[in-house]
Amino acid sequence: MINQETKDLIEKIKSDMQFEMSEKRFKHSISVMEMCLKLAKCHNLDENEAALAGLTHDIAKEIPDEIAYKMLDEEGLQLDEIEKKTHSLIHQKVGAIVVKNKYGLSENIQKAIMYHTCTSPDMNDLGKVLFLADKIADGREGDYPLIEEYRETAKRNLDEAIIMILDNNIKYLIDKEKTIHPNAVLTRNKLIEDRSNWFFVAQTFVAQTFVAQTSGLRKVCGRSA
């Protein structure tokens, strides 16, 4: 449930954004906010943070480069080599600065915005929701042929949906002979490792339960192991 304070802040940010960005990007921001809210509800996460992260995630995308670089400089933030060469990646870190300085949004939101394009193995659940919402929101149908599959998976399991998207993005970048940000590979590896650990824990649990039940059955039947 979104509280009144967040509702007021959302209205304030929306009215600022309408003047500061193109209509297309504004609409995309609203769609991502709505998808963030849906995913937050599915996964029992804070809806206030999810809505604000979704709404503001591209807030810096239309800031001119010279201003963006000045802001990064003032905050002591560095771009990595790939971010420097890939224009579309600059707005992540600058967006995190804008939401902190202009609206005082939480560190959790800043971090989610900072990694919403190239991901990070340290992404928290809010970061995962934002990354996914940006890809599966209304209006993205033309960009992702498998969007319905992504949407269904994201409702059930955030990590599985991110693995699917990263796999397909990485394959696409290889086919196009384009650079892959190392974070995409590191994030994928981390999620795959986490999944293996879960399988191991689940298998162990099932095996232990089976042994316990079998030994109980033996006792009931008057037989020893």
Q: Which stretch binds Fe ion (CB under 5 A): 9-17, 104-112, 127-135, 161-169?
A: 127-135
User: Given the complex with Fe ion, which of 125 and 134 has the nearer CB atom?
Assistant: 134
Q: Which of 104-112, 130-138, 166-174, 176-184 is the region at the interface with Fe ion (rule: CB under 5 A)? A: 130-138
Q: Is 58 in the site for Fe ion (CB under 5 A)?
A: yes
Report the residue number, 21 or 45, with the smaller CB distance to Fe ion: 21
32, 134 Cβ separation under 8 angstroms: yes
Question: Judged by CB, which is closer to Fe ion: 88, or 213?
Answer: 88
Residues 50/109, Cβ–Cβ less than 8 Å: no
Of 39, 60, 67, residue with least CA distance to 158: 39
Tell me how far apart the alpha carbons of residues 210 and 216 are, in angstroms, rounded to a whole number.
Answer: 10
- Please, what is the minimum distance in Å from the beta carbon of residue 127 to Fe ion? 13
- Closer by beta carbon to Fe ion, 100 or else 195: 100
Cα separation, 48 vs 8, in Å, equals 11
Q: Which stretch binds Fe ion (CB under 5 A): 3-11, 54-62, 66-74, 195-203?
A: 54-62
Of 105, 134, 154, 163, the one binding Fe ion (CB under 5 A) is 134
Which of the stretches 33-41, 99-107, 133-141, 203-211 binds Fe ion when contact is defined by CB under 5 A?
A: 133-141
- Those residues with Cβ within 8 angstroms of residue 98's Cβ, 6 or more apart along the chain or in another chain: 56, 59, 60, 63, 71
Task: Enumerate residues 6+ apart whose C-beta is below 8 A from 126.
Answer: 45, 46, 49, 50, 53, 108, 109, 111, 112
Q: Does 83 bind Fe ion (CB under 5 A)?
A: no
Q: Name the site residues for Fe ion (rule: CB under 5 A).
A: 58, 134
